[in-house]
Chain A
Amino acid sequence: MAVIGLPYKYLERLTGTDKDTIIARLPMIGSEVERLEADHADVAFFPNRPDMFSVEGAARALRGFLGIETGLPEYTVKPSGMSFTIDRKLTGIRPYLGSAVIRNVKLDAESILSVMGLQEALHWAVGRGRSKVAIGIHDLDTIKPPFHYIASPKTRKFVPLDFNRELTMDEILAQHPKGRDYAKIVQGFPLYPLIVDADDHVCSFPPIINGERTRVTTSTRNILLDTTGTDQRAVQVAVNIICTAMAEAGSTIESVEINGKQTPTLAPEERTVSVRECCDLIGVDLSAAEMAALLEQMRFGAQPDGNDKVRVKVPCYRADIMHDWDLFEDVAIAYGYDKFAVGISPTFAIGRSHVVYTTAAQVRAILAGLGYLEMMPFTLTSERVLFDSMRRERSPRALSVTHPISEEHTVVRTDILPLLLEMLQVNKHRELPQRLFATGDIIESMKTTQRLAAVSMHPAADFSEAYACADAVLHELSIQYSVKESADKALIDGRRADIVVAGKKAGVFGEVHPAVLNAFELEHPVAAFELDLTAVPGYPVPGDIPLLHGR
């Protein structure tokens, strides 16, 4: 979500209605009103609608939605007679360029804020933090065409914005605040992108910083726009959004010649869509004319074409229209989400629970019957808790995340017992006895399976309590088992037993080793029990996961 400040006066002037009407309907066009201030509203727009990231763009959409001005906004573009060259060496670095000349700019405090806000929001939503697209705005009267987009040696010097001395491009990356923020996008390339004018004055070091020379102020009357990036479509969308927003504010747009082509054209794209398909999808009966009218309300050009077709002109700033259904959503929005007569399809299906969850519910009932309280600890934990504190060997079958967010959450649990001991630690000031259990997912060798663990802490907790609990649970789960001496170092030697089901270890129970109690800062004996639920008869057992190796 991009949060855009909408000053009431400017918004009212551009929209042609009062702010209360606008604010009441804003959520229904697809936005969230975050804050209402004395002089402006902060409104969050969705990332698929960057054309609304300016007061001008939002007002344009609102005029349609509120029925003040509908249909396709038309923008005329005259050639500026200026041109731009692109250096072939930029191919592997940052190959795409878009540009335009914007004249008769009347920047006051409000519109300059709007343009800056738009530029920032576009950098985020379309530009992916400037890596995909970066935008530069220059005072055209400080530079001379033709302009050149070149791959420059890093030793090139110029005065960057907000500085009063020349720096090399590498110095800018190290010293300029913007250089430090965005250095990672260009670092590693042998040459850096640079925009210069006919006299070799630096306009911009995209995507990092403009030159101080071309700074835009409130007295700027004519603008040269540059957008550079790694994706041609995104670069063009950014140009279209900025140019049409400036045109809405009263400027005129002129094209620039790039590689022999005049750009931008600001011309709409055409799509012909089916009325039937739209009505089926949204569940509202509309005629072709009704559908066209709703599209016009969303600022598309729309003409019925027979009974089942509508010819749509998609404005150049609507980059989100990739598929016919994108238009159908706009039909639904214009129709009004609050006006749908909601209903439920007669789809017949019989509900069925999954055996993993029904087993879990049975396990919970058994443990609750035995007097145990359920806990729901995290599945992310650390090797310290999982293995070291438990006196168990670290397991190569445990799954590590590559960029953990903290030292406490580096691996996915392979067992639940250690997490339960942690819960006892958290609750050690609470009344005894404490009998806790948890059931849920664990991951070993990439596979998700389920386990149960139970602990009982009080001065008389012992092996026989653990055995009795394990035996009761195993009996209730219809698991035929035998026991044998365990080698689990988390439990006391001679007071620990493995649960063996069909010849395989399926769990363990016994008294927790005092060194483990010390590690979890527990002060009373703990009887513990854990069980692999795949031992339950009929329980689904996942197959091995075929990993890719090498490369």
Chain B
Amino acid sequence: MAELTQNEKRLLASLAQEQKADASRLATMLDTSPEAVVQWAHLAEEKGLVSLERIVNKAFVYTDEGKQYVQNGLPETQILAAIGQGSTLSDLQKHAAFKIGFGQLRKKGLISVSNGTVIKAEGASTADDEAALKNPKTGGQRVKDLIRRGILQETESAVYSVGITAAGRELVNRGLDLREEIGALTRDQILSGAWKDATLRRYDITKLPKRVYPGKTHPYQRLIEEMRQVLLEMGFTEIYGEIVQSSFWNFDALFQPQDHPAREMQDTFYLKERLPLPDGWERVRDMHERGGDTSSTGWGGTWNVEKAEHCVLRTHTTALSIQHLAAHPTPPVKAFCISRVYRREAIDPTHTPEFEQLEGIVMDKGVSFRDLLGYLREFYMRMGFEDIRFRPGYFPYTEPSVEPEIYVDGLGWVEMGGAGIFREEVTAPWGITHPVLAWGLGVSRVAMLKMGLKDLRLLYRSDIEWIRESPVCREQRPSKGGRT
């Protein structure tokens, strides 16, 4: 049984004397309001200690109009009294109660009018109506009529009768601790020591609290932070750059031929603005046209400067990686970037025109394709993907290229981004003489897998209910990977 409050105990103590009493009487005894008594009685009733009975009393009250009539008689009584022998209609009309009184008399058939003279019916009397007015409790049609006429009003009032049950009496017989109970602890009680003489009321801990929604970061951002954390732990430097890039850095510097389909208007957001080419652009041109000083044949044809100047919203973060390498051509370089990229795609559950891409690069003396596979395995392992395999892939700016795949229960092998070693055609123009391992992946794809999302749009047009309900911590995983 839930604990009794101080007030319930006091109520029971009073009832032990009275057995059964009205709430108002108990209120006087307990120096409180009848409403409070009812509230305590409800609590005690739930515990089976008291019985609570609601007694409804009907009563009639007079309206202001009704009060007048009680004093002066109903209008019909007044008019009836005023009718003498040979009373004319015009005489009676002077009477204040004429309008209502005359109408009522006519309706009740107590009078008739003949040639302007008003004649009482035989034995005409309003005594029964007057009786109904004086004693409405008798009820009947006449009382109903008085109510309808707005002379009387019927009111209901409830009184509560509280009685003690056998269980309640038994509890009282066992003795009640009637010391003062404390609800909210006050500063005074704490400082004065009053709390020592008081009982701290026990609360019902089975009641649910009001939901509080803490402020927090977006679930998708938390995944991005997890990836940043992994890469920072692996010793990578974070890079950042402009969204607007020239086609030169976005495509040409990555040895994408100028007629490559990915460069077409239908796949890329082009801008009307143009940017000047950086120093050294001629080496990129030579690489495209005939392979520069490397063993490459180049793409042949003529490389067009103006095409390279056209600006785009970056289509991949590789545009930033190559600029970072061009600025830091000496080893070692370990860098990463997680940023938004733009593709001209219509919005549907699995495509958005902008999304986050992660890219990592490692440039050092003696690094090889084998090391690239090692970095990939390490990264995915730390992200919680333990089954990983490698398949040949194709990307215009890497050779060899590889597509890592992870095994997901229920889905099988799922492609997870792409990787490779930057082609010499990409690195040679900037004096980079050591291999550059590079890998990238669409972060939103990982989000779909990790959060079980079916619709990418939820990431960018989020239902706040989803954010409120997404726990910050899903499951702690022991850190996997590494050499320890």
Chain A stretch 356-373: residues in CB contact (< 8 A) with chain B = 356-357, 361, 364, 367-373
Q: How far is the CA of A406 from the CA of B347 in the complex (A)?
A: 9
Which residues in B have their C-beta under 8 angstroms from that of A426?
461, 463
Which residues in B have their C-beta under 8 angstroms from that of A409?
353
Which residues in A have their C-beta under 8 angstroms from that of B196?
none
Q: Is A443's beta carbon under 8 Å from chain B?
A: yes
Q: How far is the CA of A375 from the CA of B309 in the complex (A)?
A: 35
Structural contact, B462 and A376, CB atoms closer than 8 A: yes
Structural contact, B243 and A281, CB atoms closer than 8 A: no
Structural contact, B400 and A328, CB atoms closer than 8 A: yes
Q: Is B332's beta carbon under 8 Å from chain A?
A: yes
Structural contact, B297 and A323, CB atoms closer than 8 A: yes
Q: Is A353's beta carbon under 8 Å from chain B?
A: yes
Name the CB-closest residue of B to A439: B221
Q: Is A547's beta carbon under 8 Å from chain B?
A: yes
Q: How far is the CA of A280 from the CA of B421 in the complex (A)?
A: 12
Which residues in A have their C-beta under 8 angstroms from that of B203?
none
Structural contact, B334 and A427, CB atoms closer than 8 A: no
Contact pick for A342, options B273, B296, B300, B374, CB 8 Å? B374
Structural contact, A323 and B424, CB atoms closer than 8 A: yes
Q: Mark A369-386 against chain B: 1 for CB-CB distance below 8 A, else 0.
A: 111111111111000000
Q: How far is the CA of A318 from the CA of B174 in the complex (A)?
A: 100
Q: How far is the CA of A342 from the CA of B265 in the complex (A)?
A: 40
Q: How far is the CA of A231 from the CA of B464 in the complex (A)?
A: 54
Q: How far is the CA of A129 from the CA of B271 in the complex (A)?
A: 24
Chain B proximity of A524: nearest CB distance (Å): 15
Q: Is B236's beta carbon under 8 Å from chain A?
A: yes
Structural contact, B220 and A376, CB atoms closer than 8 A: yes
Q: How far is the CA of A325 from the CA of B398 in the complex (A)?
A: 10
Q: Is B354's beta carbon under 8 Å from chain A?
A: yes
Name the CB-closest residue of B to A443: B243
Q: A356-B240, A378-B354, A547-B275 are in contact. Are A441 and B297 (CB under 8 A)?
A: no
Q: A337-B390, A547-B274 are in contact. Are A435 and B399 (CB under 8 A)?
A: no
Structural contact, B231 and A351, CB atoms closer than 8 A: yes
Q: A284-B370, A323-B423, A376-B459 are in contact. Are A347 and B364 (CB under 8 A)?
A: yes
Q: How far is the CA of A349 from the CA of B236 in the complex (A)?
A: 7
Q: How far is the CA of A443 from the CA of B269 in the complex (A)?
A: 15
Q: How far is the CA of A18 from the CA of B261 in the complex (A)?
A: 36
Q: How far is the CA of A225 from the CA of B383 in the complex (A)?
A: 53
Chain A stretch 90-134: residues in CB contact (< 8 A) with chain B = 128-129, 132
Contact pick for B370, options A30, A343, A347, A400, CB 8 Å? A343
Q: A344-B378, A377-B461, A405-B353 are in contact. Are A282 and B368 (CB under 8 A)?
A: yes
Structural contact, A347 and B332, CB atoms closer than 8 A: yes
Q: Count the B residues whose beta carbon is within 8 Å of the partner chain — how many?
A: 100
Structural contact, B235 and A350, CB atoms closer than 8 A: yes
Q: Mark B292-314 against chain A: 1 for CB-CB distance below 8 A, else 0.
A: 00111111110000100101010
Q: A351-B233, A427-B464 are in contact. Are A282 and B369 (CB under 8 A)?
A: yes
Which residues in A have their C-beta under 8 angstroms from that of B294?
323
Structural contact, B313 and A412, CB atoms closer than 8 A: yes
Which residues in B have their C-beta under 8 angstroms from that of A430?
463-465
Structural contact, A368 and B233, CB atoms closer than 8 A: no
Which residues in A have their C-beta under 8 angstroms from that of B353?
378, 380, 405, 409
Structural contact, B354 and A399, CB atoms closer than 8 A: no
Structural contact, A344 and B237, CB atoms closer than 8 A: no
Chain B stretch 202-252: residues in CB contact (< 8 A) with chain A = 213-218, 220-221, 225, 228, 231-244
Q: Is A140's beta carbon under 8 Å from chain B?
A: no
Contact pick for A373, options B215, B299, B345, B347, CB 8 Å? B215
Q: Is A466's beta carbon under 8 Å from chain B?
A: no
Structural contact, A372 and B340, CB atoms closer than 8 A: no
Which residues in B have their C-beta under 8 angstroms from that of A333?
392, 400
Which residues in B have their C-beta under 8 angstroms from that of A322?
291, 296-299
Q: Mark A473-501 against chain B: 1 for CB-CB distance below 8 A, else 0.
A: 00000000000000000000000000000
Q: Is B453's beta carbon under 8 Å from chain A?
A: no
Chain B proximity of A83: nearest CB distance (Å): 26
Q: Is A48's beta carbon under 8 Å from chain B?
A: yes
Q: Count the A residues whose beta carbon is within 8 Å of the partner chain — how many?
A: 94
Contact pick for A401, options B269, B301, B423, CB 8 Å? B269
Contact pick for A349, options B309, B333, B393, B459, CB 8 Å? B333
Q: Is B468's beta carbon under 8 Å from chain A?
A: yes
Q: A326-B399, A373-B467, A545-B275 are in contact. Are A231 and B332 (CB under 8 A)?
A: no
Structural contact, A401 and B270, CB atoms closer than 8 A: yes
Contact pick for A351, options B235, B423, B459, CB 8 Å? B235
Structural contact, A400 and B235, CB atoms closer than 8 A: no
Name the CB-closest residue of A to B363: A347
Q: How far is the CA of A57 from the CA of B447 in the complex (A)?
A: 39
Chain A proximity of B440: nearest CB distance (Å): 17
Q: Is A504's beta carbon under 8 Å from chain B?
A: no
Structural contact, A345 and B362, CB atoms closer than 8 A: yes
Contact pick for A402, options B216, B270, B392, B465, CB 8 Å? B270
Q: Is A306's beta carbon under 8 Å from chain B?
A: no
Contact pick for B309, options A342, A374, A548, CB 8 Å? A548
Q: Is B377's beta carbon under 8 Å from chain A?
A: yes
Which residues in A have their C-beta under 8 angstroms from that of B18?
none
Q: Is A137's beta carbon under 8 Å from chain B?
A: no
Which residues in A have their C-beta under 8 angstroms from that of B221?
364, 374, 376
Which residues in A have their C-beta under 8 angstroms from that of B43?
none
Q: Is A85's beta carbon under 8 Å from chain B?
A: no
Q: Is B283's beta carbon under 8 Å from chain A?
A: no
Chain B stretch 388-433: residues in CB contact (< 8 A) with chain A = 389-394, 399-402, 415, 421, 423-425
Q: How far is the CA of A343 from the CA of B231 in the complex (A)?
A: 17
Q: A325-B400, A447-B242 are in contact. Are A368 and B220 (CB under 8 A)?
A: no
Name the CB-closest residue of A to B241: A448
Structural contact, A345 and B462, CB atoms closer than 8 A: no
Q: How far is the CA of A345 from the CA of B423 in the complex (A)?
A: 19
> Which of A231, A374, A404 lies at the interface centre, i.e. has the most chain B CB atoms within 10 A of its CB?
A374
Q: Is B109's beta carbon under 8 Å from chain A?
A: no
Structural contact, A47 and B394, CB atoms closer than 8 A: yes
Chain A proximity of B224: nearest CB distance (Å): 9
Q: Mark B317-335 against chain A: 1 for CB-CB distance below 8 A, else 0.
A: 0000000000000011110
Q: How far is the CA of A128 from the CA of B261 in the complex (A)?
A: 7
Name the CB-closest residue of B to A344: B374
Which residues in B have their C-beta under 8 angstroms from that of A332?
369, 392, 400
Q: A328-B400, A546-B276 are in contact. Are A399 and B244 (CB under 8 A)?
A: yes
Name the CB-closest residue of B to A324: B295
Q: Is A338's beta carbon under 8 Å from chain B?
A: yes
Q: Is B371's beta carbon under 8 Å from chain A?
A: yes
Structural contact, B238 and A282, CB atoms closer than 8 A: no
Chain A stretch 312-345: residues in CB contact (< 8 A) with chain B = 322-326, 328-329, 332-333, 337-338, 340-345
Q: How far is the CA of A273 from the CA of B424 in the complex (A)?
A: 15
Structural contact, A345 and B371, CB atoms closer than 8 A: yes
Which residues in A have their C-beta under 8 angstroms from that of B392?
28-30, 329, 332-333, 337
Name the CB-closest residue of A to B331: A347
Structural contact, B237 and A351, CB atoms closer than 8 A: yes
Which residues in B have their C-beta under 8 angstroms from that of A325?
399-400, 421, 423-424
Query: Which 10 residue pairs are nearest across A and B when measured between Cβ atoms?
Result: A283-B370, A283-B368, A46-B394, A30-B392, A329-B400, A344-B374, A323-B296, A349-B334, A351-B232, A371-B215
Residues of B within 8 A of A (CB): 213-218, 220-221, 225, 228, 231-244, 259, 261, 265-266, 269-276, 291, 294-301, 306, 309, 311, 313, 331-334, 340, 342, 344-347, 352-354, 362, 364, 366-371, 373-375, 377-378, 389-394, 399-402, 415, 421, 423-425, 435, 459-465, 467-468
What are 18 A-to-B residue pairs whose CB atoms are below 8 Å?
A: A46-B393, A132-B259, A323-B294, A333-B400, A349-B334, A351-B238, A353-B232, A357-B240, A373-B213, A373-B215, A374-B218, A375-B218, A375-B464, A402-B271, A406-B347, A440-B340, A446-B273, A545-B244
11 additional A-B residue pairs with CB within 8 Å, beyond A343-B371, A352-B238: A231-B300, A282-B370, A341-B370, A344-B371, A345-B366, A374-B216, A375-B464, A379-B243, A403-B265, A435-B215, A448-B242
